[in-house]
């Protein structure tokens, strides 16, 4: 067991210099070989997972479901590796280039971040997914998964590392922290000399804990208290379709809708129509006084806490507003800066909403559910950043890179 | 005295929403009015500065020099404000835009970061400079300067805020922390709900302290242990000119050179020639064994600590290497990821150096002194980032912004 986390960091740093220089074709070949190796060793993976599952007996069914691997899920992991192999490699791309006053040729070139730490819960698929994205973007990765999935994670990492070794690539490009104690995790989050960034993936609780404890720069992902605002001038059916999709298509995810705001002029007409459609999904409605006047007193009164809450469930809180200004002020106060939508046919108000809402993604006449790396066409996603530094919104391969200025001169000195 | 730092944060957040929406022309007009106001009130500024200087009696002359304001320095501040007014406004620029598979029109638009905290030492000019750059990029700023400059800073902020008020702009777009106690500073660095980023400006000690204490995301700036590597195939005069420029033009700044590496084949020929030129500047040389064999035993032996040290002074440590690989490994081990140069006529080795060196800026045949926002043509600089997240290298106005995805649909829902 490696408990010397500094040693782990040193190895990762060393590996990072090697894999940061690998050609795209070589990386793609290795990713495809990893896909094959995962499938070929599926019985071993399932055996390790079985042991993890025995240890998880008695835990919540959701938890056990996420921990469980099957032949099919292993195939999906392999498919994911092949898809990452097909993505465009951002490394070496030049964002911009110019000649300065002294005649220097300056190019801003995409390079790997270096060493990325991922902290996640008991989901073995994250091990493969995160390793693939970090590897393709030329980064070494150190993975710290939940202790309940340790055996599965170690087996998966062993297979991936085996492929690296066979291809004469430093196998420490992918490392797992075997000691899942809190002490080691705390040490890991302070490893500023060897870790360039930490990305927590999982529940709001996990992410908050990492943000609070880490000294290494963190990219915060995931929290989504998303709103839909229905303007006075709007299409009723479009509003209902988008609300139903944003709330019910997959309520547990961060880009699902949690709050509905409606302009007072159309609330009495739209609300019963929308509520009727939500009934089919057994959505629990909560509302402010005006919404309850329309929908009836059986609708629970929404509390101040409701406006802050990300339900991740079939619950929707509704507020009737006097103006778009009130809607925008409410959203900017309570939102988590994730995704917000206006339904409107009015040009000025569409612009006002796009301009004034503070969020990673702002929509006109579309579902909040589109905030996603795959939907945006990135082909992959390591998470959705809700912070403003470095990356905001869906993070694909490019967000796992940084830049360096590459400058060519002919002997210039500074005057 | 406002010691309620949360209140300060709330006011800044409110102001940020207003100034994030200001048109460019309006911001430029205000910046020009600020320039005028600074000059018009120069006698008041000098009076406040005089009180600060009385308090600083007996302190180091460098320190007092940086604290001192004169008519001329006030004019330079005003000039700086006018220059910022002339810079291109990054807000609203679209980095990229595309249509996704569902027909959504997605644009990645530049928006302000929100609220920026600046922590700096007793240099009143930073007050005006940072306020101008944050204002032009649509951000509210909270300034926490050194206590020795408090009266000067308060007077300057009063003048700038007066101009905001006169122009009906929320004057809390620019705020100064009046209570310069450590307790308030500590609280300020943990203000995650109201501060989007903290930028420390000043000594390595200050920056390290902020990085260690802050919970708010920090952009690390400034440390520069910069190297020049002279290849076997290179121009001797160009090498000497660049070394002299990089070391001596302004040794106290972060992009000046601290270490010289030379290939063993040319060391015996080049070193005495370069040393002769450095003599004119009384540069103290330190060297490894091979360098001392060439230059003589009067040259001090460079210790392990030397290779890590940023002298910021007329001191240079010299190492003779067997190969470019040894040079690159040495630089990547000891550097602070700031600026590194190779002097070479060889194509392959120029490429190898540019590819393999891990730094914000990598040069071929040019002085490290060029790593600078003005030299790069950004027209301004809030600092030079030596970290990899968000921004790397010289930071101009664009680095004080983030992006948001602005998405226009026609009723799309997710399948």
What pLDDT sits at residue B204?
Answer: 81
What pLDDT sits at residue B57?
Answer: 87
Render pLDDT for A302-317 as a digit per residue (tens, 0 to 9): 999 999 999 999 999 9
Give the homologous superfamily in CATH for domain A5-220+393-408: Aldehyde Dehydrogenase; Chain A, domain 1 (3.40.605.10)
Q: Are A279 and A314 in contact (CB under 8 A)?
A: no
Question: Which helix (H) or strand (E) segment is A372 a member of?
Answer: none
Label residue B376 exposed, middle or buried (CB < 10 Å: 0-12, 13-18, 19+). Answer: buried
Render pLDDT for B257-310 as a digit per residue (tens, 0 to 9): 999 999 999 999 999 999 999 999 999 999 999 999 999 999 999 999 999 999
In this prediction, residue B380 has a pLDDT band, given cuts at 50, 70 and 90, of confident
A154: contact with B, CB 8 A cutoff: no
Report the C-alpha gap between A340 and A225 in whole angstroms: 9
What pLDDT sits at residue B289?
Answer: 97
Indicate where chain B has its CATH 3.40.309.10 domain(s): 226-370
* pLDDT value at A1 more than 80: no
- The whole-number average pLDDT for the span B313-330 is 98
Q: Are A39 and A78 in contact (CB under 8 A)?
A: yes
Strands (E), B231-376: 257-263, 284-287, 300-301, 315-321, 339-343, 361-366
Burial string for B70-97 (b: 16+ CB within 10 Å, else e) reads eeebbeebbebbeebbebebbbeeeeee
Q: Tell me if ipTM is over 0.90.
A: yes
Contacts 24+ apart (CB under 8 A), B232-235: B232/B263, B232/B265, B232/B266, B232/B346, B233/B344, B233/B345, B233/B346, B233/B349, B234/B266, B234/B343, B234/B344, B234/B345, B235/A411, B235/B343, B235/B345
Packing angle of the helix pair A24-40, A71-86 (nearest 10 deg): 170
Q: Are A221 and A383 in contact (CB under 8 A)?
A: yes
- Min distance A62 CA to chain B CA atoms (Å): 24
A354: contact with B, CB 8 A cutoff: yes
In this prediction, residue A3 has a pLDDT band, given cuts at 50, 70 and 90, of low
Q: Which chain B residues contact residue A114 at CB under 8 A?
A: 358, 388
Indicate where chain B has its CATH 3.40.605.10 domain(s): 5-220+393-408
Render pLDDT for B95-122 as a digit per residue (tens, 0 to 9): 999 999 999 999 999 999 999 999 999 8
Q: In what order do the strands lie in the sheet with B226-230?
A: A94-99, A105-112, A401-412, B361-366, B339-343, B226-230, B257-263, B315-321, B284-287, B300-301
- Min distance A359 CA to chain B CA atoms (Å): 7
Q: What is the mean pLDDT of chain A?
A: 95
Sequence-separated (6 or more) residues with CB below 8 Å from residue A89: A24, A27, A136, A137, A397
* pLDDT value at B1 more than 60: no
What pLDDT sits at residue A189?
Answer: 95
Report the C-alpha gap between A300 and A317 in whole angstroms: 9
What pLDDT sits at residue B108?
Answer: 97
Residue A386: closest CA among A205, A208, A225, A221: A221
A355: contact with B, CB 8 A cutoff: yes
Share of chain B above pLDDT 90, in %: 89
- The whole-number average pLDDT for the span A44-70 is 93
Task: Give the one of A106, A354, A375 whose C-beta lies nearest to B406's C-beta.
Answer: A354
Q: What is the CA radius of gyration of chain B?
A: 24
Share of chain A above pLDDT 70, in %: 99
Report the C-alpha gap between B305 and A343 in whole angstroms: 63
**Nearest-by-CA chain B residue for A407:** B363
Report the C-alpha gap between A156 and A42 in whole angstroms: 9
Q: Which chain A residues contact residue B355 at CB under 8 A?
A: 21
Render pLDDT for B207-251 as a digit per residue (tens, 0 to 9): 888 988 898 989 988 889 999 999 999 999 999 999 999 999 999
* pLDDT value at A34 more than 50: yes
Q: What's the longest Cα–Cα distance across chain A? A: 79
Please name the residue ranges forming H helices in B20-144.
24-40, 42-55, 61-67, 71-86, 124-136
Report the C-alpha gap between A256 and A305 in whole angstroms: 18
Residue B9: closest CA among B198, B200, B147: B198
Task: Give the one of B114, B332, B375 whose C-beta lies nearest to A100's C-beta.
Answer: B375
- Min distance B49 CA to chain A CA atoms (Å): 32
What pLDDT sits at residue B3?
Answer: 58
**Nearest-by-CA chain B residue for A220:** B217
* Measured CA angle at B345 (ends B344, B349), to 5 deg: 60
* pLDDT value at A227 more than 60: yes
In this prediction, residue A84 has a pLDDT band, given cuts at 50, 70 and 90, of very high
Compute the Cα dihedral for A65, A67, A73, A79 and give only its sign.
Answer: positive
Render pLDDT for A155-179 as a digit per residue (tens, 0 to 9): 999 999 999 999 999 999 999 999 9
Interface of A with B in 106-125 (CB under 8 A): 106, 113-114
Query: How is domain B226-370 classified at the CATH fold level?
Result: Aldehyde Dehydrogenase; Chain A, domain 2 (3.40.309)
DSSP3 helix / strand / coil % (chain A, rounded to 5): 45, 20, 35
Q: Are B53 and B68 in contact (CB under 8 A)?
A: yes
Q: Which chain A residues contact residue B414 at CB under 8 A?
A: 245, 249, 367, 369-370, 375
* pLDDT value at A2 more than 60: no
* pLDDT value at A318 more than 90: yes
- Min distance B203 CA to chain A CA atoms (Å): 19
């Amino acid at each position: 067991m490696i408990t010397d986390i500094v040693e782990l960091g040193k190895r990762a740093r060393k590996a990072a210099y090697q894999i940061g220089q690998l050609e795209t074709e070589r990386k793609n070949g290795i990713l495809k070989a990893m896909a094959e190796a995962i499938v070929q060793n599926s019985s071993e993976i399932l055996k390790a997972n079985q042991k993890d599952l025995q240890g998880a007996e008695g835990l919540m069914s959701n938890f056990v479901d996420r921990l469980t691997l099957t032949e099919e899920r292993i195939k999906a992991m392999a498919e994911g590796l092949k898809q990452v192999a097909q993505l465009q490699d951002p490394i070496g791309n030049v964002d911009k280039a110019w000649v300065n006053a002294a005649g220097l040729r300056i190019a801003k070139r995409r390079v790997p971040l270096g060493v990325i730490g991922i902290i996640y819960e008991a989901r073995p698929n994250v091990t493969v997914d995160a390793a693939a994205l970090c590897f393709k973007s030329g980064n070494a990765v150190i993975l710290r998964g939940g202790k309940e999935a340790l055996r599965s994670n170690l087996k998966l990492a062993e297979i991936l590392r085996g492929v690296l070794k066979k291809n004469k690539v430093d196998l420490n490009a992918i490392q797992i922290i075997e000691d899942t104690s809190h002490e080691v995790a705390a040490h890991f989050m302070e490893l500023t000399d060897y870790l360039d960034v930490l990305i927590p993936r999982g529940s709001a609780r996990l992410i908050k804990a990492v943000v609070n404890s880490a000294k290494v720069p963190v990219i915060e992902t995931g929290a989504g208290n998303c709103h839909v605002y229905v303007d006075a001038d709007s299409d009723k059916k479009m509003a209902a379709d988008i609300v139903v999709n944003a709330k019910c298509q997959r309520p547990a995810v961060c880009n699902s809708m949690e709050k509905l705001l409606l302009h007072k002029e159309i609330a009495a007409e739209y609300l019963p129509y929308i509520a009727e459609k939500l009934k089919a999904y057994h959505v629990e409605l909560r509302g402010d006084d005006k919404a309850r006047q329309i929908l009836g007193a059986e609708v629970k009164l929404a509390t101040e806490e409701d406006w802050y809450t990300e339900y991740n469930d079939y619950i929707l809180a509704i507020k009737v507003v006097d103006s778009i200004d009130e809607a925008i002020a409410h959203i900017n106060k309570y939102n988590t800066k994730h995704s917000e939508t206006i339904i409107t046919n009015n040009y000025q108000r569409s612009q006002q909403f796009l301009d004034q809402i503070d969020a990673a993604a702002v929509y006109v006449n579309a579902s909040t559910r589109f905030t996603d790396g795959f939907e945006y066409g990135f082909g992959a996603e390591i998470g959705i950043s809700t912070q403003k530094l470095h990356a905001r919104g869906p993070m694909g391969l490019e967000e796992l890179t940084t830049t360096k200025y590459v400058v060519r001169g002919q002997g210039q000195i500074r005057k």
